[in-house]
Structure 1
Amino acid sequence: MPKKTLCRVAVAAVSGFCLMPASGLHAEPLAVEVVYLRQQEMRPPVLSNLDPVPEDLGIAGAEVAMADNATTGKFLGQTYTLNVIDIAPEGDLPTAARDALAGAGLVLVDGTAAEILAVADMPEAAGKLLFNVASGDEALRSADCRANLLHTIPEDGARTDALMQVLAAKRWSKLAMITGPKPADLAYADHLRRSAAKFGLTLVGEKAWSFDTDLRRAATVELPPFTQDLPDHDVLLVADETDDFGRYVENNTWLPRPIAGSEGLEPQGWTHVMEQWGAVQLQNRFEQTAGRDMRSRDYAAWTAVRAIGEAVTRTGSADPATLRGYMLSDAFQLDGFKGRGLSFRSWNGQLRQPIAVANARALVTLAPVEGFLHQRNETDTLGLDEPESQCHAFTE
């Protein structure tokens, strides 16, 4: 008589899987080590310190995912360990990276695009599998892509595409924009322009932010005249990725208009206001671990570690090449609590995922928005599609 399979669901974060009864298991013990390599950021001063950056940003997401993986792994003889290497802003990243890569084949890299690229190009990184959990820089998915580097943080262009899909669906077609002076602000503004053009929206006017006034006292005085000469518009875009002035714009503009971008209606990889598709269960587990809400970088680290766990479970291996091959195959799919399975783009290593477009208190929608179609996968309407990418490392 054939043996019956026993199906278990370990926790809500782990998708259902089938196991043989204990008497039929012959799995060899398998140790899976994951390294979280972080170069801390030197953050510029901003007008407000109301929302400090958590010290465990990203790391907390990896820790929650490791616990999820361990719940599954104990049935299969798999043990998971997380080694966090946290480097000071002026610390020696190359030395720390070489030491980490010498002892581990699976590494989450948290840093700038240049730092992530430097780690991926090290001789010690050959044959290893790296995950970008911090940088949305388009070049890492295009001309500067690397075959050993996958991306679980959304690219910046995918976020702005998601926002423009929502605005286009609402027929809010006339846009104005305020752009901050920092490099990250300027890069985000460029993505907003490109996404607006991509989805047929019109940018009718722009202004560069140049104030150094204490807006905590002067916002109601300075902002109305600053925005007064913008042409009539449906939505005011704010490009303030350094979180400097944007919080003061809403309800202080000359025209009573919604704001979007870095403030107001925001496109994000994750937001704590998501409640559907089991998202509350993930958020609750995260709060129990970190004592705060989950953020996009936490979610990127969580998905990277969970992708590793899913691939290890399905392949029975911790070999980086084996895991990479499975993750980039059509067989891989990850439950990311976003209403559809997540998968990696085989041509540049970017994780396909819906983007939450939300305000501070509620989810407006998940993009891709209904009606924006793609011949392969609707999430490929967000960010670089294969014909647009200059990435060749995944096909060579």
Structure 2
Amino acid sequence: MGPAAAAIDLPIVFLTRAEEPRLPLSFVDPVVEDPGVWGARLAIKDNQTTGGFLGHNYELVEVVVPAGADIAAVFAEQIAAGGRLFIADLARDDLLVIAQHPEAANTLIFNGRVADDDLRRTTCFPQVFHTALSRAMRADALVQFLVWKKWTELFILAGSTEGDQAYAEAIRRAARKFGAEIVAEDSYAYSPIARRTDSGHIQVQSQMPLATQAADDDYDVLIAIDENEIFGEYLPFNSYAARPVAGTHGLVPMSWHRVQEQWGSTQIQRRFTEVAGRWMEERDYAAWLGVRALGEAVTRTNGGDVVALRAYLRSADFALGGFKGVGLSFRPWNQQMRQPVLLVNKRVLVSVSPQAGFLHQRTPLDSLGFDEPETDCALQ
């Protein structure tokens, strides 16, 4: 008989900041007030199912940083209390604070929210793993599908925020990469639409055709880029030309959605809904992936040593079942999780990228996002 598994206590810190919830477009839609944490809670239960037999005791430590509070101090307090494994459901500025903290070197931080490409291309941290999709992965997944459909002439209508402009650049890059063409671009100048009044649809019906006239009708797909949900929801059926809408609205590339039912997904969808009382959102899925990745690494290494866990997570031996038909793994050069991207509308899973025919010497999943030669990061 082999040696008995060592008993290990494994606290995993779910770190987020108190924020006002984003209000949905319609009063009919529920307000999600607790994004992310329920994914971590479910994953802890999943980890404990296997870990309990091995003497691995998982605990989720939930830390909500008050608005305006010093997150660096909170992070240091958690490290002083023994925290080494973190699920970061944080905005960019907060994520950078903890990633650059002097005491972060002996931690593992799983980014479940920030999509910024520079964190995978130029500003990488050896202790930060990304379970959230990058904008480049979303853009590549969408443009692959449009090219496969031979809808290659694109009109970009983007908002004015930094996130919108970064997403627009990701679409341009994907178009160059896969052979599509940006035939026109325009920016949406925000003016309040009375979307909660009886006359709101009248304003939409008159404003949206004007906002989409830049390309006349000489394009295949309208790419809506509106991460803050100011105007994108109004574009389908209201554009100047009768064209499909894709991007942040219409056909949307996502890591997870309630319409996902393939590869055994119905069981996790049901389990999540039973405990959370709502559908699993992308931030929930990213947190679930982070906790489950840690559980898999602890099981395989039979320990909680940060150095050993990181080495295993980056290795070719690591593969996580994520209900997407293939094992999910991390790219060693920037520690982004490889994963298929769902292309969905509100009621239907339309397709899953990478698309057939988009090959890669390592894995088709590496056709989505920044490949090793495209990044300045060279994490070891």
Look up the match of 1:92: 70
List runs of 5+ in structure 2 lacking aligned partners: none
Look up the match of 1:246: 232
Kept after mapping to 2: 8 A contact 1:166/1:367: yes
After the TM superposition, which residues 97-246 of structure 1 pair with which residues of structure 2 at under 5 Å, given as runs?
97-102=75-80, 103-216=82-195, 217=200, 218-231=203-216, 232-246=218-232
Look up the match of 2:17: 39
The letter for the 2-side match of 1:223 is M
1:299–1:47 CA distance, 2 compared to 1 (3 A) = closer
Specify the SS of the correspondent of 1:186.
helix
Kept after mapping to 2: 8 A contact 1:113/1:140: no
Look up the match of 1:291: 277
The letter for the 2-side match of 1:96 is V
Look up the match of 1:11: none
**1:251 CA drift (Å):** 0.8
Look up the match of 2:38: 60
Look up the match of 1:8: none
Kept after mapping to 2: 8 A contact 1:34/1:80: yes
The letter for the 1-side match of 2:173 is R
After the TM superposition, which residues 9-28 of structure 1 pair with which residues of structure 2 at under 5 Å, given as runs?
26-28=4-6
Kept after mapping to 2: 8 A contact 1:152/1:304: yes
Kept after mapping to 1: 8 A contact 2:236/2:250: yes
Specify the SS of the correspondent of 2:38.
helix
The letter for the 2-side match of 1:297 is R
- Distance in 1 separating the partners of 2:128 and 2:63: 18
TM-score normalised over the length of structure 1: 0.90
Deviation per CA, 1:5-38, whole angstroms, max 9, x where unpaired?
A: xxxxxxxxxxxxxxxxxxx883232111100111
**1:110 CA drift (Å):** 1.8
Kept after mapping to 2: 8 A contact 1:73/1:79: yes
Kept after mapping to 1: 8 A contact 2:21/2:32: no
Look up the match of 2:48: 70
- Distance in 2 separating the partners of 1:154 and 1:120: 18
Kept after mapping to 2: 8 A contact 1:101/1:107: no
TM-score normalised over the length of structure 2: 0.93
- Distance in 2 separating the partners of 1:189 and 1:145: 22
Specify the SS of the correspondent of 2:47.
helix
- Distance in 2 separating the partners of 1:247 and 1:59: 27
Deviation per CA, 1:265-311, whole angstroms, max 9, x where unpaired?
A: 00001111111101111111111111111111111100000001111
- Distance in 1 separating the partners of 2:309 and 2:72: 25
**1:117 CA drift (Å):** 2.0
Tell me whether 1:80 sits opposite 2:58 in the alignment: yes
Kept after mapping to 2: 8 A contact 1:137/1:156: yes
- Distance in 1 separating the partners of 2:255 and 2:130: 12
1:284–1:114 CA distance, 2 compared to 1 (3 A) = same
- Distance in 1 separating the partners of 2:206 and 2:48: 55
- Distance in 2 separating the partners of 1:229 and 1:56: 40
Kept after mapping to 1: 8 A contact 2:222/2:244: yes
Look up the match of 1:334: 320
- Distance in 1 separating the partners of 2:320 and 2:371: 20
The letter for the 1-side match of 2:38 is A
Identity of aligned residues (%): 43
**1:263 CA drift (Å):** 0.2
**1:172 CA drift (Å):** 0.3
The letter for the 1-side match of 2:347 is R
1:27–1:283 CA distance, 2 compared to 1 (3 A) = same
Specify the SS of the correspondent of 1:272.
coil
List runs of 5+ in structure 1 lacking aligned partners: 4-23
Kept after mapping to 1: 8 A contact 2:136/2:170: yes
Kept after mapping to 1: 8 A contact 2:6/2:303: no
The letter for the 1-side match of 2:60 is L
Kept after mapping to 1: 8 A contact 2:47/2:295: yes
Tell me whether 1:276 sits opposite 2:254 in the alignment: no
Kept after mapping to 1: 8 A contact 2:358/2:364: yes
- Distance in 2 separating the partners of 1:101 and 1:53: 33
**1:47 CA drift (Å):** 7.0
Specify the SS of the correspondent of 1:361.
coil
Look up the match of 1:346: 332
**1:215 CA drift (Å):** 4.9
**1:177 CA drift (Å):** 1.6
- Distance in 2 separating the partners of 1:294 and 1:44: 16
* Greater Cα offset, 106-115 or 364-373: 106-115
Q: Number of aligned residue pairs: give it.
A: 372
Q: CA RMSD in A?
A: 1.8
The letter for the 1-side match of 2:6 is E
